[in-house]
Structure 1
Amino acid sequence: MTLLDHVPAAPAEGARDRAREVVHALHALIRAEAGAEAQAAGIEAADLEQAVWLRLLERRPGPEVPADPARWVRTAVRAEARVARRRSRRERAYTAGEPPDDWAGCPERIVVGADERRALRTAVGRLPGRCPRLLEAMLAAHDPTYREIAGELGMSQGSLGPMRSRCLGCLRRMLAAEVVAPELRGKER
């Protein structure tokens, strides 16, 4: 889509000729200024150029060559570059591989975390013997020491480490059995 596509159809030839004149007069200047400012603004030169053309189209009473084209283009390009820099400071690109910096306070993360903790506590509750009580004590919100856990469970502090290791191994095996293995695809069969 070009600048000519946005010209009103009523006064056809006069408006189109005027628009061609504007495009011809400003094209090289806008391209050069946008190319010079784009990298510092953190925006593609073509995007900056397009924003300036839109700014020209939004002028009233229509697309005309400004009185001082070089000054108008410099001013418009720099204004659009400032807008782009402000936008880049406020907006953050989302990448699917890594969570954003403020992911911890995100409502979705809070819900996912609650679901994960609920699933973990349910799995811990299904463990045999004294494992549920030991792991629940270790998962306590107040982060107790081994001495406090040993006192609460009535066992020696030295046996907590080996028992914890056995319980976590049991939990790991139980959860691995519940997770469905992915199907083989392609040449793996």
Structure 2
Amino acid sequence: MPNSTVDQLVEECLVGSQAAWNELVRRYAPLVWAIARSHRLSRTDCEDVSQATWMQVVKHLTKLRAPDRFAEWLAVTAKRESLKHLPRVARHVPSGDSTAFDRRDESAPDPEAAAVGRDRDTLMLRALRDLPPRDQALLGLLMCDPPRSYDEISVELGIPRGSIGPFRARSLVRLERRLRELGEDVPG
């Protein structure tokens, strides 16, 4: 299964192969997670979005017309599920003992540094979310922990191993351009 193309995995899933399904989830779970996190959702909310996304895949996999574009389709599905989840998150208001919110963790960075870091991260995630789904998929796979090899990425995205470096470079140029459009100074 690890050497199967996305097309093959989708076809095998359609005939009921659990191994093919497990491989699809293994390959693309980091992409779904990265998209959910780009919407600033908590870990629990990301788990909910991930589950909802995979449920949509199960329900609609037979309607997928271009199995080779599975990553793009999955990215759009994860983005939609994340957006549907946002209003639910906004309704939750913490209650109970408010002293838990008053204590400051001395090992935490100072509030100003934390705010600057959050702003930078938010801007980076926004720029990443604005990229084409294939760029999001590649950059997500390159950033996952543990890192994926170029061979694994080649199989997962269905692109030649030798094309990953140039494709990565073009994706990073598009990300840098988008960051500049959003007003962020990018080191040269």
TM-score normalised by L of structure 1: 0.35
TM-score normalised by L of structure 2: 0.35
Q: Which has the larger radius of gyration?
A: 1
* Greater relative contact order (Cα < 8 A, sep 6+): 2
